[in-house]
């Protein structure tokens, strides 16, 4: 199925029984194509993808932001995150910088090609790493140092998710 969203349609343009998942009208028209198997996000909850090779970080962030009303999915590495982005685009992605196989910058570049509307933020234990600056130049919203301080992160996500 194809949905065309534009600034002149309502934020949940209905076609048949399904709704278009596009929630960001400021960025102009979007066209979404879904197969019967596609996963359509809950339109009431902003979606968040957390990608970190540290299982505790993923689990903790998923628990916290699920409790705050986000639809949260986690991935332990870049390839798993790419697989998740093949079924739907997330509103926000928190990407670890240093992961085995694919770092956060490479993951961001691949996610951005697939889902340019996803807002990506880098999380890292080494914010002074030169790759962090490269991530910002590539289009990531910000660099968030580890250990994560949840209160400012929650405020930032609430502001972004609008």
67-77 pLDDT, tens digit per residue, is 999 999 999 99
Question: Distance between CA 134 and CA 107 in Å, rounded?
Answer: 13
Question: Distance between CA 104 and CA 113 in Å, rounded?
Answer: 14
Quote the pLDDT of residue 8.
Answer: 38
pLDDT at 28 over 50: no
Q: For residue 31, what are the contacts with CB-CB under 8 A and spacing of at least 6?
A: 2, 3, 4, 5
Burial class of residue 92 (count of CB atoms within 10 Å of its CB; 0-12, 13-18, 19+): buried
User: pLDDT tier at 83 (50, 70, 90 boundaries)?
Assistant: very high
User: pLDDT tier at 52 (50, 70, 90 boundaries)?
Assistant: very high
**What is the percent of the chain with per-residue pLDDT over 90, rounded to a whole number?**
69
User: pLDDT tier at 30 (50, 70, 90 boundaries)?
Assistant: very low
Q: pTM score > 0.95 for this model?
A: no
Q: What is the DSSP string of 87-120?
A: T---SEEEEES--SSS-HHHHHHHHHHH-TT-EE
Preceding peptide of 54 cis, ω within 30°: no
Burial class of residue 150 (count of CB atoms within 10 Å of its CB; 0-12, 13-18, 19+): middle
Question: Distance between CA 69 and CA 62 in Å, rounded?
Answer: 11
> What does the chain come to in residues?
162
């Amino acid at each position: 199925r194809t949905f065309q969203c534009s600034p002149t349609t309502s934020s949940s343009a209905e076609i048949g029984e399904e709704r278009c998942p596009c929630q960001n009208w400021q960025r102009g028209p979007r066209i979404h194509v879904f197969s019967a198997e596609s996963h359509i996000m809950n339109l009431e909850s902003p979606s968040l993808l957390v990608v970190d090779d540290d299982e505790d970080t993923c689990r903790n962030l998923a628990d916290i932001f699920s409790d705050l009303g986000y639809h949260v999915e986690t991935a332990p590495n870049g390839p798993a995150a790419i697989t998740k982005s093949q079924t739907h685009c997330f509103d926000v992605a928190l990407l670890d910088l240093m992961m085995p196989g694919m770092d956060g910058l490479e993951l961001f570049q691949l996610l951005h090609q697939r889902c340019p509307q996803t807002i990506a933020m880098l999380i890292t234990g080494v914010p002074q790493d030169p790759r962090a600056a490269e991530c910002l130049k590539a289009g990531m919203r910000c660099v968030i140092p580890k250990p994560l301080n949840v209160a400012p992160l929650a405020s930032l996500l609430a502001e972004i998710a609008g």
